[in-house]
Homo-oligomer: A and B are copies of this chain.
Amino acid sequence: MGSNAETRRSGCPISCSLDLLGDKWSLLIVRDMVMLRKHYFKEFLASAEGIATNILTDRLNRLEGSGIISKQPDPENRRQIVYTLTEKGVALIPVLVELMSWGKIYAGTTSVDRDKARRMQQDRRYKQRVIRELTEGCTSTPGRS
């Protein structure tokens, strides 16, 4: 499902967002770029969730098609493509932070302190700081960290 008016299910902005992002993988690629500073196909492929090559290719094309990421030849190796977030992609950070916050409490992750997660869920200033720091990280010069 694409991004233009013909393929929108309705004018509701939540529905329009899900037209672009409503699948199990797109936001994980954005997460990889925001939180793990990944920029290369091979890096996305190596993420813990084990995305298949064809799905990754499809999702990168869709994310580029909807203006969430852009791709350029890597300046250090022009046979390689480097993927970066656009302003539209960076603006998804608050969505990621809320999904992370909800997931820590409710989605059955075992690796976190749930009480601490609940305190963070309530703490808007903490979330705001996380969003600001991640945004700054994404809008500085891209590259492997």
Contacts and interface: CB of A to CB of B under 8 A. Distances in A.
B103 A13 contact: yes
B12 A31 contact: yes
5 contacts: A3-B108, A4-B108, A14-B31, A18-B28, A20-B107
A15 interface: yes
A107 B111 CA distance: 34
A75 interface: no
Interface string A5-24: 10011111111111111111
Given A16-B103, A18-B25, 17 more contacts: A4-B108, A8-B108, A11-B110, A13-B99, A13-B100, A14-B31, A15-B28, A15-B49, A16-B107, A16-B108, A16-B109, A17-B102, A19-B24, A22-B22, A94-B98, A98-B98, A124-B124
Interface of A: 1, 3-5, 8-25, 27-28, 31, 47-50, 67, 88, 91-92, 94-112, 121, 124, 128
Contact of A24 (B22, B103, B108): B22
Contacts of A47: 10
A145 to B, nearest CB: 18
Contacts of A10: 47-49
Given A28-B14, A31-B12, A102 B92 contact: yes
A14 B95 CA distance: 10
Nearest to A16: B107
